[in-house]
Amino acid sequence: MLPGYLFHHIKKVAQDLQFALKVFDVLPLYGILFDRDGTVIMANKTFLDTTGLQKERIRGMSAGELETYWVDLRKHLAALEIHDTCTFRGQLIGENGDCFPVEHTLAHVVDGKREVIASISHKIEGRTLTEERREAEKEIEKANQRKRQFIANINHEIRTPMNAIVGYAEMLAESSLGEQQQRHVEIIKKNSAHLISIVNDIVELSKLETGKVRLLKSTVNLRVAIEQLHELFADQAKGKHLEFTYQVDPTLPEHYILDANHCRQILSNLISNAIKYTDAGSITLSVTGSKKRAAWHEISFRITDTGRGMSAQEQETLLELIAQQKETVTIHDGKCLGLTLSARLAQIMGGEVSLESVRGKGSTFSFTLLAAVTDEERVSEKRGEEPQCPQVKRKKHPVILVVDDMPEMSHLVKIYFTGTAIRVLEATNREKCLEHAFQQRPDLILMDLNLGGSDGREITQYLRNDPRTQHIPVIVMTGMMLENKLIKPLFDDFLGKPFHLRDLRRIVDKYIQVTPDTVCVADGKTKESVPDPNQIALFWNEELDELYREAEMSGSLDVASELGEMMQEQGQQVHSLALLEMGEKIQQAALHLDIQGVDHYLAVLETIARKER
């Protein structure tokens, strides 16, 4: 830690060059300055005395020449093409030819308009495995345990407030904001997503260190998964004026058995890096495959960008850092976090991450793995085995109980459903939760696992054992990834923190439905009873009928919106208020991505369309 501290101290006083150079020269450490091309500018007294070099001789030396005294110098300098600061363990060769281990810290330093590379190194004393060292190793293991516990705790502590930030930002985005305010909200959403991604990667790396990563395989529609991944990053790429496209080999089977979550995590990291380091041009995600043996394919995902690219030396250094083959390498700028995680996850899944790049032309990161093919018959069987949707309750004024030790979560849910028929209760501890559950008999409970001294599992088990509450659906809210066997039979469903409001809406619609006279849509407004179908039927025509059937068969919200628009035009022409209002309701529901609302209105139109045929 000492060299890093001194190095940062030097950076702070770099404006006073004379003072900085004096400090640099008298350091009891090995100090040396290079220009941006790796040519030596100067070395301090400790370095010169150790190597036996003279000031006049070392000044102007190339990195290749200095490698006689500094092993692997060029490789260490190449790492600075990728990172601002790096720490390596390496070797220095003294005047008498002795080789001794040192730890180097290298970094870019700006001196006015001039950019230099500074290095400070210190000697590492060789030791044998003594009792003292064994004790030190025990302390290190204890520290690692504390680190893992800290990560587990901070995972929960970050996700809950992040859920509130994401939720309120999404509600703001749906409100009437000015152009500048809308941009501010988008910045909040973008950076929240980035922070969540970093937390996910840190937690996953912690699991990798302890060997706790488990592969959860399921049947996956590959094309749909890639489509969803493209939608996830489309806006981010558009924000940098980049063209982001995807291509899936049409000859590939539709369904595979693989670990969808970890595949998505690997590809998300690779796509995110491609967008981050591409300033202009395009990014392409392509998926190909080849049959390796019966019912097994090797699938290859390639993310190609037109970014800055890397030289062969830079690629070698990057892959070495990612693989972490040398435990002595420390990365300071965080760029390799996602790539390191991706490479390790790929290895666990029996695949690999590889790199092809040309300096100035771009890079291609590839992720390959073996996956089992499923035929349509097997997929249909699996679908048949899936549990049926729960019997949806129909109530005029349903009640949701939110149990979370952070009141912001309850407030978020309450505000989201303001103006609807849904009433939201809140509880921040076990006592309040049980009081509401037994007295109010809510129709749905959203349960956090960590309640500041209470366990959400224990509370849920208590409710399950009581005849008064055992029938109430309980949805677990947590930042931990839980397997189905850990969710059921205790919990009815799962909401991963932080969740989007559309996920909350999906869960509520799945377990609660208000009575037909009111339909709550995603923007929180309440749609009153639909216009008289008989009045609509008077002006129903073939054009409307054709578009209705297309909307019903395709399930497309775009087609539903088009149907609503056409109904409004027809209503204006024939002066039918019923047709006009129904068209507006359908279009608004489609624009707000309210699938339940669209289905409700189309069901009303079904009777009209059937009569007209």
pLDDT at residue number 247 = 92
pLDDT mean values, one per 10 residues, the chain (613 residues): 49 55 77 85 87 86 85 81 79 76 81 67 58 66 68 66 76 75 75 70 66 68 86 82 91 84 84 87 90 79 89 76 46 56 79 85 88 58 44 68 86 81 88 91 89 83 90 82 56 79 83 55 45 81 86 78 84 77 80 72 77 53
pTM metric for this prediction: 0.44
Is the distance from CB of 448 to CB of 547 less than 8 angstroms? no
pLDDT at residue number 587 = 80
Residue that the structure tokens 């000015």 belong to: 178
pLDDT at residue number 559 = 82
pLDDT at residue number 485 = 47
Within 363-465, residue ranges assigned H as helices are 376-385, 407-416, 430-440, 456-464
What residue ranges define each of the domains in the chain, with the CATH number in brackets? 2-123 (3.30.450.20), 131-210 (1.10.287.130), 218-383 (3.30.565.10), 393-515 (3.40.50.2300), 530-612 (no CATH)
Tell which residue, 546, 558, 556, has the closest CA to residue 605: 546
Q: Side chain identity at 81, as an amino acid letter? A: E
pLDDT at residue number 9 = 47
pLDDT at residue number 523 = 40
pLDDT at residue number 528 = 46
Question: How many Cα atoms are found within 13 Å in the side-chain-facing hemisphere of 179?
Answer: 0
- Tokens, residue 450: 């960590």
pLDDT at residue number 259 = 80
pLDDT at residue number 329 = 36
Is the distance from CB of 403 to CB of 413 less than 8 angstroms? no
Question: How many Cα atoms are found within 13 Å in the side-chain-facing hemisphere of 553?
Answer: 6
pLDDT at residue number 377 = 36
What's the CA gap between 186 and 526, in Å, rounded? 26
E strand or H helix at 138: helix 131-173
Give exposure, 49-75, as e/b (b: 16+ Cβ within 10 Å): ebbebeeeebeebebeebbebbeebeb
Is the distance from CB of 491 to CB of 447 less than 8 angstroms? yes
